[in-house]
């Protein structure tokens, strides 16, 4: 009777200790989760792919949209080698951006195609015009969330245009459905292009963070079960 009493008391003390440990780890995990959603920041995609690219000397590649090429502070220059554009005669394309992680998106920031100075002014026809934007968490299922138009480039140092977005995504598709060419009959169909793309938003806690929290809870639960088993054994 006496032994059982001591053992029960010991078990209760251990369980109280373990419960405290569990509550502490839960609070710590909650603190991590609460601290994680940072203020909205500029997101530079880690990948950019285009359904069409003019392969001329590898100068018009989609990577030029995310590598900071041609950026002068927050403006984009007029150097064609710092931009992306479709193959000749292709005036529509889809760009797919990988943000490298899950983000709560708040904005799209675009610098339009901007090569067109003096005798080459007609090349500003390549600037993207109407577009739709779709987001995805898995890169498979996309949801359209925006349809709008971009202003024509200037051939001078160009400021970005910003569009409000709302939704969680890792992947973003920008579907460009036309350019600023007004008279295709004169020059033939122009390609369509952009200079640089960024997003605005805040990171959603990484799966690794959630995994750590789950492992933490699991470990605490395991400690309690072990303590219970040990007490059950010593009480027998
Ligand atoms: Ca660029």
Domain boundaries, the chain: 2-36+208-235, 41-204
Q: What separation in Å is there between the alpha carbon of 30 and the centre of ligand 1? A: 40
Say if CB 158 and CB 195 are below 8 A apart.
Answer: yes
Instruction: Give Cβ neighbours of residue 235 (< 8 Å, ≥ 6 apart).
Output: 3, 4, 7, 8, 11
Q: What separation in Å is there between the alpha carbon of 152 and the centre of ligand 1? A: 16
Whether residue 134 has pLDDT greater than 50: yes
Any idea which of 44-53, 124-133, 158-167, 225-234 has the lowest mean pLDDT?
225-234
Any idea which of 3-17, 71-85, 103-117, 119-133 has the lowest mean pLDDT?
3-17
Question: What does the pLDDT look like over 155-206, one tens digit per residue?
Answer: 999 999 999 999 999 999 999 999 998 776 666 678 999 999 999 999 998 7
Amino acid 212: pLDDT:
78
Q: What separation in Å is there between the alpha carbon of 144 and the centre of ligand 1? A: 25
Q: What separation in Å is there between the alpha carbon of 41 and the centre of ligand 1? A: 19
Strand partners, 178: none
Q: What separation in Å is there between the alpha carbon of 38 and the centre of ligand 1? A: 27
pLDDT confidence bin for 35, thresholds 50/70/90: low
Whether residue 135 has pLDDT greater than 60: yes
Whether residue 44 has pLDDT greater than 50: yes
Instruction: Give Cβ neighbours of residue 84 (< 8 Å, ≥ 6 apart).
Output: 48, 50, 53, 60, 61, 62, 63, 64, 65, 95, 193, 194, 195
What is the three-class DSSP state of 129?
A: coil
Q: Which of 118, 207, 192 is nearest to 154 (CA)?
A: 118
Of all residues in the chain, the percent with pLDDT exceeding 90 is 61
Q: What separation in Å is there between the alpha carbon of 132 and the centre of ligand 1? A: 21
Q: What separation in Å is there between the alpha carbon of 197 and the centre of ligand 1? A: 8
Q: What separation in Å is there between the alpha carbon of 103 and the centre of ligand 1? A: 23
Q: What separation in Å is there between the alpha carbon of 71 and the centre of ligand 1? A: 6
State whether the Cα torsion 80-83-89-92 is positive or negative. Answer: negative
State whether the Cα torsion 215-219-221-225 is positive or negative. Answer: positive
pLDDT confidence bin for 1, thresholds 50/70/90: very low
Any idea which of 50-54, 73-77, 118-122, 168-172 has the lowest mean pLDDT?
118-122
Q: Which CATH class is domain 41-204?
A: mainly beta
Q: What separation in Å is there between the alpha carbon of 189 and the centre of ligand 1? A: 23
Residue 7: how many other CB atoms lie within 10 Å: 16
pTM over 0.85: no
Amino acid 124: pLDDT:
92
Residue 128: how many other CB atoms lie within 10 Å: 29
Token pair 């008279």: residue: 183
Whether residue 211 has pLDDT greater than 90: no
Q: Provide the greatest CA pair distance for the chain.
A: 103
Token pair 């059982």: residue: 4
Whether residue 50 has pLDDT greater than 80: yes
Mean pLDDT of the chain: 87
Q: What separation in Å is there between the alpha carbon of 46 and the centre of ligand 1? A: 14
Say if CB 91 and CB 191 are below 8 A apart.
Answer: yes
């Amino acid at each position: 009777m006496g032994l059982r009493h001591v053992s029960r008391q010991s078990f209760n003390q251990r369980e109280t200790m373990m419960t405290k440990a569990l509550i502490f780890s839960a609070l710590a995990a909650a603190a991590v989760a609460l601290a994680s959603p940072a203020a909205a920041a500029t997101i530079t995609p880690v990948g950019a792919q285009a359904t069409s690219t003019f392969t001329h000397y590898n100068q018009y590649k989609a990577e030029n949209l995310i590598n900071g090429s041609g950026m002068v502070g927050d403006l984009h220059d007029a150097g064609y080698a710092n931009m992306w554009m479709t193959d000749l005669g292709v005036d529509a394309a889809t760009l797919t951006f990988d943000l490298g992680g899950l983000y709560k998106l708040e904005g799209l920031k675009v610098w339009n195609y901007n090569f067109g100075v003096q005798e080459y002014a007609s090349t500003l026809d390549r600037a993207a015009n109407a577009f739709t934007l779709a987001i995805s968490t898995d890169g498979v299922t996309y949801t359209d969330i925006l349809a709008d138009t971009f202003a024509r480039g200037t051939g001078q140092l160009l400021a970005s245009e910003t569009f409000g977005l709302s939704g969680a995504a890792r992947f973003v598709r920008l579907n460009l459905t036309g350019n600023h060419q007004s008279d295709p009959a004169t020059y033939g169909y122009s390609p369509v292009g952009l200079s640089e793309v960024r997003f605005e938003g805040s990171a959603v806690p990484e799966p690794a963070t959630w995994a750590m929290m789950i492992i933490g809870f699991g470990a605490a639960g395991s400690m309690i079960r072990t303590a219970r088993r040990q007490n059950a054994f010593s009480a027998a």
